[in-house]
């Protein structure tokens, strides 16, 4: 392969998405490869917050129905902008809640243990908060989480085998919750196959899209996925704590929300103030509380950029960035004890590269001290996410060069091999 910096610079000149980099606030002399934890602030997101603040200032309470983005319909408006990213119809998507709140809502709605179908199928590599939620939902149903939560085992501690997941789809499983992309290794699961196999056994299936939405295109409706949920502060660049989202396949429209709330109501009935809920006939029925307008605001600008860039082009560049990163690691860092633990084939690779090294925590600290922002995952993982909208091939080259220098000089030994309060 070509390991010269000039090659990376040529790739950047040919990049169709290069102008979007100008939209983001980038740290001086800093290479930010942590967009799969928190995306960077864009100028458009900043402007959309200012516009929403101005609408509050100008209209007061009338901002719910007046202005460029009336707050009463904002969750639906942004659901419409999100839908193309996941292959859904506009009314199947709503921007609301948080990842875990939405998971609680969906499980409360769709997990109805009956007869021998009393178990939830998940996996042992999922993000902890999903497992916390599933265990608490089982407990609320009077079921023992230790007996009724099945977690598919990993053979290597980093990835899952499709066949292992399918074998776990036994006739006592009522519902399946899986990540689309594993948060550590970046493995992209085969959503289409898993959905088909689940439905063949009469099991509902839903996916956590936190590490794929905004990085990978999905075809949720075409695949027949029952539901999905996600955050918006990673690849979607919605800001810290920005409002999440959920998807409901339209064949489930009309099902009463398990956790009913003020904004579960049909828009035209909500202010009749009746004590009987008439749920919205769309995914909007699965909202609970009032939209967090100021936390939704950044998504207006951010999702506009995704509409312009197109998720397919984002995915194409993302794959090229991660492929280039892996090639450079193999060429330049093969003598330093790093192991690439993410899937290397494009079909199974998400939006980041996952390196294993016994000194991972202190290497991450050394990278930060040298102007590279990675992400450490306990006990020995380094996640590197070159994001299509704002990272470059030259940054990939420069990051590897800085890492090689750190390893040559052993400057990582200046730091404790222990994570900080936030990894």
Distance, CA of 360 to CA of 375 (rounded, Å): 10
| Phi, psi (deg, nearest 5) at residue 263 | -95, 10
| Residue 290 annotated as lining a ligand binding site | yes
| Residue 99 annotated as lining a ligand binding site | yes
Distance, CA of 304 to CA of 81 (rounded, Å): 8
| Residue 129 annotated as lining a ligand binding site | yes
Q: State the DSSP H helix or E strand holding residue 185, giving kind and residue range, or none if neither.
A: none
| Residue 100 annotated as lining a ligand binding site | yes
The number of beta carbons lying within 10 Å of the beta carbon of residue 217 is 17
Sequence-separated contacts (24+) of 79-83 with Cβ below 8 Å: 79/245, 79/283, 79/284, 81/299, 81/303, 81/304, 81/306, 81/307, 82/213, 82/245, 82/303
- Output DSSP code: residue 178: E
Distance of CA 33 to the CA centre of its chain: 15
SS3 of 313-374: the string is HHHHHHHHHHHHHHHHHHHHCCCCCCEECCCCCCCCECCCEEEECCCHHHHHHHHHHCCEEC
Distance, CA of 286 to CA of 106 (rounded, Å): 8
- Output DSSP code: residue 134: H
Sign, CA dihedral 136-140-199-225, equals negative
| Residue 338 annotated as lining a ligand binding site | no
| Residue 211 annotated as lining a ligand binding site | yes
| Phi, psi (deg, nearest 5) at residue 356 | -110, 140
3-state helix, strand, coil in the chain (%, to 5): 45, 15, 40
Nearest to 175 by CA among 101, 232, 252: 252
Coil/strand/helix, residue 186: coil
Nearest to 338 by CA among 386, 400, 396, 385: 400
Coil/strand/helix, residue 251: helix
C-alpha dist (Å) from residue 66 to 55, 56, 95, 280, 302: 8, 10, 20, 22, 22
| Residue 208 annotated as lining a ligand binding site | yes
Which residues belong to the annotated binding site for pyridoxal 5'-phosphate? 99-100, 127-130, 208, 211, 233, 262, 290
State the binding site.
99-100, 127-130, 208, 211, 233, 262, 290
């Amino acid at each position: 392969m070509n390991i010269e910096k000039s090659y990376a610079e040529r790739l950047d000149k040919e990049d169709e998405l290069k102008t979007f980099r100008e939209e983001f606030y980038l740290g001086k002399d800093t290479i930010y490869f942590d967009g799969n934890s928190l995306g960077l602030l864009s100028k458009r997101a900043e402007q959309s917050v200012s516009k929403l603040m101005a609408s509050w200032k100008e209209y007061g309470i009338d901002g719910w129905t007046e202005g460029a983005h009336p707050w009463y319909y904002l969750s639906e408006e942004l659901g419409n902008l999100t839908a193309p990213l996941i292959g859904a119809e506009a009314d199947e998507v709503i921007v609301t809640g948080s990842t875990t709140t939405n998971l609680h809502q969906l499980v409360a709605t769709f997990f109805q243990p009956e007869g021998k179908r009393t178990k939830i199928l998940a996996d042992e590599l999922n993000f902890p908060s999903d497992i916390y939620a599933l265990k608490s939902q089982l407990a609320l149903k009077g079921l023992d989480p230790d007996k009724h939560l099945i977690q598919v085992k990993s053979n290597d501690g980093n990835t899952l085998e499709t066949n292992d997941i399918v074998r776990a789809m036994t006739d006592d499983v009522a519902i399946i919750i899986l990540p689309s992309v594993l948060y550590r290794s970046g493995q992209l699961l085969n959503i289409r196959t898993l959905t088909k196999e689940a439905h063949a056994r009469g099991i509902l299936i839903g996916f956590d899209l936190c590490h794929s939405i905004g990085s990978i295109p999905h075809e949720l409706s075409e695949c027949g996925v029952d539901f999905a949920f996600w955050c918006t502060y990673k690849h979607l660049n919605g800001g810290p704590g920005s409002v999440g989202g959920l998807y409901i396949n339209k064949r489930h429209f009309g099902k009463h929300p398990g956790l009913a709330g003020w904004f579960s109501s049909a828009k035209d009935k909500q202010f009749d103030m009746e004590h009987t809920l008439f749920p919205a006939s769309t995914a909007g029925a699965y909202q609970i509380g009032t939209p967090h307008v100021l936390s939704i605001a950044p998504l207006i600008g951010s999702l506009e950029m995704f509409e312009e860039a197109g998720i397919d082009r984002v995915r194409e560049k993302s794959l090229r960035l991660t492929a280039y990163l892996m090639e450079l690691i193999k060429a330049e860092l093969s003598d330093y004890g790093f192991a690439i633990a993410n899937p290397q084939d494009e079909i199974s690779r998400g939006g980041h590269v996952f390196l294993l090294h016994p000194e991972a925590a202190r290497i991450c600290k050394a990278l930060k001290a040298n102007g590279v922002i990675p992400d450490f995952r306990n006990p020995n993982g380094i996640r590197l996410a070159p994001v299509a909208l704002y990272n470059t091939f030259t940054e990939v080259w420069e990051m590897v060069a800085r890492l090689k220098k750190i390893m040559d000089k052993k400057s990582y030994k200046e730091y404790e091999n222990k994570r900080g309060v936030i990894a």
